[in-house]
Structure 1
Amino acid sequence: MKKYLILGIFFLNILIGYSQEVKRNMSIKDFLSIPSISDIQVSPDGNSLLYILTESNWNANRQISHIWQVNKNGENTKQLTFGLENESEPLWSPNGKWISFLAKRKEDKQSQIYIMPSDGGESKRLTNHKTSVSNVSWSPDSKKLYFTANDPFTAEEENLKSNKIDVYPFEENYKQKHLWEIDRATNEKKITSGDYSVLTYSLSHDGNRIAVHKSPSPLLDDSFKSEIWLINNDGSGEIQLTDNSVSEITNNRLFKTGARIAPNNKSVMFTAAVNGKMEDYYNNKLFLLASDGSSDIDLLTKDFPYEVSAAEWTSDGGKIFFVANMGSQFQLWQYEIASKKLVQLTEGKHSIGQWTYNPKQDEHFVTIKTMENPGEIFSFKKGKLKQITHHNDSLKIKFNLPRQEVISWKGEDGVTVEGMIYYPHNYNPEKTYPLVVQTHGGPRASEKYGMSLRYTTYVPVLTGMEYVVLQPNYRGSTGYGDDFLRGMVGGYYDQSHLDVMAGVDFLIEKGIADPERMIKMGWSAGGHMTNKLITFTNRFKAASSGAGAVNWISMYSQSNVRYNRDAWFGGTPWQKDAPIEVYWNHSPLKDISNVETPTLVIVGENDPVVPKEQSVELYRALKSNNVPTHLYIAPREVHRWMELQHRLYKINVELEWFAKYALNKPYEWEYVK
């Protein structure tokens, strides 16, 4: 026995040594192939979970999402759906006999509801709706399902389109979205109708009442005019609970989300990005009101310094659980109704991603993000986290991963600013490193603990090439209190760009960053910031502007979302006595003649959020002024690129640009066939 034990230890040591020897830097393909977990759903008995695992299929040139199942104890992990079609929104029927999900199979023109027996067997299509189905819920008795779908075009409208008589009125050719129900015998019934759209909804615990968010239209910009209503499950008995007209100062933009009816049906909670006076542009807060609309709205998180995300009731209605954005992390909190006490439940150098609460067993299921793992499922009960899934455990064994820290510095006006820094795995404090500064999108967002799988940042690839990466949570970021968030109100670039540069100077003073090898990049609002900084300073040797705005005046009309601009600049650019000077003074295009930094410009061909015309304006201005530049437009892509080869190309072309202008060395492209 001793002989075998010695041999076992010998081979174990060989394996350990081998794993250390083959540990390598992460390639672009490695990074783009990391799977992700979403849509956690708990079985009625609380013993099993469904979830979506999204994996990269390079032959199909896209990511594909399938349904997986695992026991709560982490055993019996198995894949339930297969093929090249995506599935989403997996749900257990309340009696545990069925699993529903959304899919668009080969014979489907639109996404439809499919169901399959929970104990195994083939799935079958339940709906045959003329428009795409979304937002599915089961009734508590498991006899029917609810969903939302846009109204179909009439036969006359379809006939005109088929005959190429298809001239359409811009932003008026939409169809309203409404609530439907269907039973397992495929009998459909429309629950709501009228000249409005149901954006989201939530059933009461007994299934008799439904909280719906009504919007004037399904257009993105109109979602910020939504109201909360209560209706019976047959569409009758409407009660309007909120009214945006209560305050003229809000300009009818009090967007409310996540309405949840209390277990006793007497109150409704929701979140809204307003303060106690219902004034707009604040961190998301938690509110409560009576379900009969008889009382004023009660702000539950008045003095809470962070932003409230998703929230759910306990089974007895005595508490509300929610996830809070705390700047550099997402953590789980609870609010006690009787005592009005707020308690933080989770903590640590991680962030919560997905979250699902099971009130029957008073148990939470979350994805936990760390720098070594982008998010496995954990259970959380009685103060303890327990890992359930293990899809990405091998990352820390296979790859050299960066060290991540939260750092803070003083902004130009003395306000404390926070950010994330990533060091190469072999970081030597005696050396200075080339610095990549990445600014996040939103800008109502923040960078947090954990490995991000965004193809716009690809941090592990950069650190593998011995770049240090800084992600500043500049003025306008969420999770740092209302004053910090509202640092952009009245002027987008009053302090935000100075916050970024103060962070850069902090790293230079610490001997971390080499001031002669600095790079600026960002996507969306991160692209806006890149465009500003290249006009503000020539200290960056290379830059990449991804889907960034350069002209706030033209951007207002081009984008499909405008609601934030009014707060930033003091109104629209078209109103009487319009604040045109504010718009123009904060447009990077105004100072474009200052730019010397070689700058890539990258955008999706069909981006509705930051349309390609903004990138064209930037490119033509840089080209006219003889600044080294290229404009790359990805066909078929919108704001979030979906094709893997496009993502690969973007990263390659940026790394080549950075190597040429910041490092003065060649770069070898990585290809995936």
Structure 2
Amino acid sequence: MELSEFKNYLIIYEKDRLSQLRRMVVIDSKRETVYYPLGPSFIQQDFSTFKEIRNDHAALLKVVRFERTSTGYVDLYYGKDKDLKSKMDGKKAVEEYWLWNVKTNNIQKFDLGQNRSVTDIGNGTQFLHYDGNELRDYTRHRPLLNVSLYNSKTKSNYPIGIIQPQIVSSGNGRYLLYQSEDAKWEMLNTSNNKRTFIEKNDLRNPVFTENDQSIYFESSAGLWEYNLNSGLLTQLNASRGKKVRILNTDRSFLSQGISIYHSTIDSDTPLIIESLDSISQTVSYYSLKGHKILQDFLITKNKVSKFLHSDRLDRWCWLEENYNLAPMLKESAKHASAQMLYNENQNDRSAKEIRQEMIDYRLTNGKALKGLLYYPQHFNPSTQYPMIVHIYQIQHTKSKEYLIPKFDGLGFNIRLLLEQGYFVFLPDLLTDRRGPGIAGLECINAALDALADHQNIDHSKIGLTGHSFGGYLTNLISTQSNRFAAYISGSGVSDIIQSYYSLNRNFPGPHYWQLESGQYQMASSLADNKQLYFNNNPIYDAEKLSAPILLWTGKTDENVVPENTMGFYLALKRYRKDVIALFYHKSGHSLTDEPERLDLNKKALEWWAYFLKDQKEVPWINQQMKKDAH
């Protein structure tokens, strides 16, 4: 049982206990009338949905039945299959769509071809339809869509064409915004099928005004307004050069699985803006009407993780934090000073003692990168300390996140390591045409070179760690570098070629897209550039491991399957390298089981202490490291 989106109807989904058949019952909450849109009889279905159409007395109904894709004794896969998820699940969803007119109680079935999904755009007459698997080849995370627009009154069909899988509709469905294959914004006027290109890069998250006069675009360099009457795109002065977000948009999704949604704001309502200034390192919040700032709410150098305001904009509150400042809940009002509602710093007085430094470094191509260096607790400038380097991708943007001391699911916690007397370094890593591993190796070398003159770092006692993509990078670097005394790699790919030709059950289908256009950014298939894949494959150089490595994974991981960890362990074992592998029974990609989390964090701290602090009385490590251990 549920209420429709605009609260006009109560929908009850009934199921017959004996036959397992189902039916939909709709109650008009205003007229107190009961309807059976699909008929009073119970029918064969697995579930159905009711989508009230905005500004119209109508609804889009969907009925779904599951058909088995397996015979029970064999799973049959074809080279031309485009829906591997159904093969993996053992069932395929068969969908039927109906347009129900509440006033007349008439119902019209959509007959637009096999496997077509239907989405309303808000005018009660026109509907988008597409086959979500038609262009799926698994080289993209989300496939392109071949979309058409159907008019239920004229029974006509207008082909929009092949576009990116995101469509933004104005409130009344008059305009549709989407990106072409080459990521350029195109607008379709659905009343006359006129198309308009908006020639500007770095525009995102469009918002229509309710009166169809303007579209606002966010960007990393300010706020832009597109006038729907004149066709002019103008940058608003108040936000020029800053990364902005509009906080008070009304967004309602029109479909499941594909990003199709209304994005609107009332024409008379000021925009509530979040503005990030990279030069002053501040974030500010204000209300904006046209080019004029109506009211400044706050500006701070801290991170604001939540900002809320009253409808009348006369009161607002926010959650504020920094790396050395526990979260604080504050409130303010017009003509009033900010008041503290809750201050977690009273329970964490040592946080303010944390020291952080931003490290700048460059690659050979001149690209500038940054890294976060945290100093050990109770730092003594006359003492040398070991350092632990954590890698993933871009990490310097986390510089204002509060450091919570806890045993987390990755076995890595900055605050705990600082308390144990380590430097902790988080350098940025990029990938390029050489592949993520080789490019990452240059990044890590450049980052360490930037710290070469730091006299308080013991450069003979540096450890490297990473999880997931960071685990892959750790695996690769461990076979190519001699700058580290020990490694910890969690849930990382060890054989990108085996991974490329394997199934991912978190994102059902093969891993092609992850390697080609996802995090790894290889930008080619294996067949088209085998040497690129060979150069970036950790397991191919397992015999070159330069220091002891601790591997860990969850045995229920369906993203980076535990066979990756086992494969790397077996390769290292073959070449008599110092490796210990941990396989946690109950957890997946990160550890969710409490005893397993505690065990991993304890073992990680012992591992670093053993190799970076020479604290050698650790039986489970000595079992590997001491020659006479059994």
TM-score class, shorter: 0.5 to 0.7
Is 2:399 the counterpart of 1:451?
Answer: no
Does the CA contact (< 8 Å) of 1:601 and 1:631 recur in 2? yes
Match for residue 604 of structure 1?
554
Change (3 A) 1:207 1:532: farther
Q: Tell me if 1:491 matches 2:435.
A: yes
Are 2:469 and 1:525 aligned?
yes
Q: Specify whether residues 617 and 165 from structure 1 end up closer, same or farther in structure 2 by C-alpha distance, changes over 3 A only.
A: closer
Counterpart in the other structure of 2:194: 294
Distance 1:523 1:562 in 2: 21
How far off its partner does 1:536 sit? 1.9
Report matched runs for 1:394-433 at 5 Å: 394-397=346-349, 402-433=354-385
Aligned to 2:487: 543
C-alpha distance in 2 between matches for 1:319 and 1:413: 41
Q: Which residue, 572, 575, 590 being the options, matches 2:525?
A: 572
Could you tell which deviates more after superposition, 565-574 or 358-367? 358-367
Q: How far did residue 417 of structure 1 move?
A: 0.8
Structure 1 residue 491: deviation in Å? 2.5
Deviations 1:429-474 (A, max 9, x none): 3333221111126x79964421367633321111121212111122
Specify the alignment match of 1:657 in structure 2: 607
Q: Is the 8 A contact 1:655 1:667 kept in 2?
A: no
Mark the CA change 1:448 to 1:289 in structure 2 (over 3 Å): closer, same or farther.
Answer: farther
Q: Distance in 1 between matches of 2:137 and 2:323?
A: 37
Deviation sequence 1:45-89 (CA, Å, 0-9, x none): xxxxxxxxxxxxxxxxxxxxxxxxxxxxxxxxxxxxxxxxxxxxx
CA positional deviation for 1:571: 1.8
User: Highest Rg: 1 or 2?
Assistant: 2
- SS of alignment partner, residue 564 of structure 2: helix
Displacement after TM superposition at 1:510 (Å): 2.6
Q: Match of 1:471, as an amino acid?
A: L
Where do residues 105-144 of structure 1 align in structure 2 (5 Å cutoff)?
Answer: none
User: Are the aligned partners of 1:267 and 1:288 in contact in 2 as well (CA < 8 Å)?
Assistant: no
- Please, which of 613, 627, 631 is the counterpart of residue 581 of structure 2? 631
Cα separation, 2, equivalents of 1:379 and 1:202? 40
Unaligned runs of 5+ in 1: 1-89, 99-128, 184-188, 245-253, 281-285, 477-487
Contact persistence 1:409–1:417 (CA under 8 A):
yes
Distance 1:444 1:465, change over 3 A: closer
Mapped to 1, the partners of 2:126 and 2:47 lie a distance apart of 24
Partner in structure 1 of residue 142 of structure 2: 224
C-alpha distance in 2 between matches for 1:133 and 1:375:
43
Residue aligned with 2:348, SS: helix
Please show how residues 49-448 of structure 1 align to structure 2 within 5 Å. 151=64, 153-154=66-67, 157=68, 167=75, 169=77, 171-173=85-87, 174=89, 175-176=92-93, 215-216=132-133, 223-227=141-145, 243-244=162-163, 254=164, 256=166, 259-263=167-171, 265-268=173-176, 279=182, 287=185, 289-292=187-190, 294-298=194-198, 299=200, 301=202, 304=220, 312=249, 313-316=264-267, 348-353=300-305, 368-372=320-324, 390=342, 392=344, 394-397=346-349, 402-440=354-392, 447-448=398-399
User: Does the 8 Å CA contact 1:202/1:210 hold for their aligned counterparts?
Assistant: yes
Q: Equivalent residue for 1:644?
A: 594
CA distance in 2: counterparts of 1:147 and 1:468, whole angstroms: 59
Amino acid in the other structure paired with 1:627 = K
Residue in structure 2 matching 1:466, options 393, 401, 421: 421
How far is 1:180 from its partner?
9.4
Give the 3-state SS of the residue equivalent to 1:537 in structure 2. Answer: coil
Where does residue 502 of structure 1 map in the other structure?
Answer: 446
Which whole-Å CA distance do the structure 2 matches of 1:518 and 1:665 have between them?
15
- The alpha carbon displacement at 1:495 in A equals 3.2
Partner residue, 2:255:
none
Secondary structure of the residue aligned to 1:626 is coil
Choose between structure 1 and 2: higher helix proportion.
1
Separation in 2, partners of 1:260, 1:131? 30
Gap change, CA 1:666 and 1:141, over 3 Å in 2: farther
> Which SS does the other structure have where 1:569 is aligned?
coil
Normalized against structure 2, the TM-score is what? Answer: 0.61
Compute the displacement of 1:133 (Å): 11
Q: CA deviation at 1:598?
A: 0.7
Residue 593 of structure 1: CA displacement?
2.2
Distance 1:503 1:396, change over 3 A: same
CA distance in 2, matches of 1:522, 1:179: 46
User: What is the CA deviation profile of residues 138-191 of structure 1, one whole-angstrom value per residue up to 9, with x for unaligned ones?
Assistant: 987999999999x5534xx49x89xx657575644254597999x9xxxxx999
**1:384 and 1:492, CA in 2 relative to 1: closer, same or farther beyond 3 A?**
farther
Q: Deviations over 1:567-609 (max 9, x none)?
A: 53342124xxx21111101212233222121111112223333
Distance change in 2, residues 1:569/1:242 (3 Å): same
Checking the alignment, whether the CA contact within 8 Å between 2:147 and 2:162 is kept in structure 1 is no
Percent identity reads 15
Structure 2: gaps spanning 5 or more residues: 11-43, 78-83, 101-106, 204-218, 222-241, 250-263, 505-510, 620-630
Equivalenced residues, count? 498
Higher relative contact order (CA 8 A, sep 6+): 1
